[in-house]
């Protein structure tokens, strides 16, 4: 069957839990997270993570090194929207620290634009 479902399971195993079950049915995170926002674990090594859901355990262990929201989503093969909701919940519970980029309400950095313009003129 070309382009359709062949009846065989995919080669990679995927989570049997649906995204809406992971997020409790929510589609919007409690706090807005940019996909480039950096996340670090707030839990110490001696904290028992076994009480957390598998997704939260994975995020907590991944964030022992600072990672972006997009990177966490990709590494866990989790939709970006779901990752944002879970990370926002974890931040509200104090399990992770979120470092949002400072974008000055969407205004571009004039210094950066001037350097780019200068570089273009030299070409």
**Sequence spans of domains, the chain:** 21-121
Give the residue-averaged pLDDT of 1-9.
45
Residue 101 above 90 pLDDT?
no
pTM of the model: 0.65
Q: Read off the pLDDT band of 67 (50, 70, 90).
A: very high
The CA distance from 33 to 98, in Å, is: 8
Percentage of the chain exceeding pLDDT 70: 68
CATH of 21-121, one of 1.10.3470, 1.10.10, 3.40.50, 1.10.287: 1.10.10
Of 74, 95, 94, 93, give the one whose Cα is nearest residue 83: 74
Q: What is the rounded CA–CA span in Å between residue 2 and residue 58?
A: 36
Provide the pLDDT for residue 45. Answer: 58
Helices of type H across 1-123: 19-22, 54-62, 69-75, 80-92, 110-122
What's the mean per-residue pLDDT of the chain? 76
* 107 pLDDT above the threshold of 60: yes
Q: What is the pLDDT of residue 36?
A: 85
């Amino acid at each position: 069957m070309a382009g359709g479902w062949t009846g065989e399971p995919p080669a990679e195993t995927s989570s049997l839990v649906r995204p809406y079950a992971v997020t409790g049915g929510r589609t919007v995170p409690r706090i807005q997270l940019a996909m480039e926002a950096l996340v670090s674990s707030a839990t110490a090594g001696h904290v028992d993570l076994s009480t957390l859901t598998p997704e939260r355990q994975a995020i907590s262990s991944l964030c022992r090194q600072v990672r972006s929201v997009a990177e966490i989503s990709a590494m866990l093969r989790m939709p970006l929207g779901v990752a944002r909701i879970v990370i926002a919940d974890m931040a509200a519970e104090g399990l992770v620290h979120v470092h949002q980029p400072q974008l000055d309400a969407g205004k571009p950095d004039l210094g950066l634009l001037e350097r780019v313009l200068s570089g273009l003129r030299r070409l």
